[in-house]
Amino acid sequence: MTQYPFPRDSEIKRVFPWSPLPEALKACSLAGTAYHEAGHVVFLEWVGLPVRKATATASDGGRTLFEIPAIESAGQPESLPEHLAGVAAAFHAGICAELIHAGISWDGIVRRDDMDWKMAAEVLHPTFGPRSSGHGYAQRLALAVLSARWARVTEVAQEMIERGSWEAAGFSEEACSAAKADTL
């Protein structure tokens, strides 16, 4: 497996090439979906957000449920390009996990017209416009985090393959519905 390095801050404005969606990632499969959702889980854990549950099916795709903590803003960190690319990396983590699982090297920004891409584009567009720099930095960040934590990605994905879902220790539907939560 390729160990991807963390992108340097100076690369935030670098223009990256677009890469076609690899054939291996076009077909929907249980393993592909499980690794996709496991990528979201592990990246969100790395960020420090409480991830509660993830599901994967071969036909209906998957979902990752996590809590959104109350954040007291000191200034406007959301306007920093690195912060926005970091947020977008959470959306790109799924497809990046699929690339690693399939043994496909990252040769440029991989785009799949799905909700993850649309959310990443929505976060990045106000600062980066239609350019590729924000997506490239975000995907490289996701690849670095996931390749460094690949054993955890595999652990979460295997549980979803075997059971159809992964749940955090102590997860309960009641507690999760009481908290502010979102899905990827």
Q: All domains of the chain, ordered by start, with CATH?
A: 29-67+79-167 (1.20.58.760)
End-to-end, the C-alpha distance of the chain in Å comes to: 25
Choose from 34-38, 72-76, 121-125 the range with maximum mean pLDDT: 34-38
Pairing of β 61-67 and β 181-183: antiparallel
Give pLDDT tens digits for 112-162: 999 999 999 998 888 887 778 889 999 999 999 999 999 999 999 999 999
Q: How confident is the model at residue 5 (pLDDT cuts 50, 70, 90)?
A: confident
Measured in residues, the chain has a length of: 184
Mean pLDDT of 168-175: 66
- pLDDT for the residue numbered 174: 58
pTM: 0.85
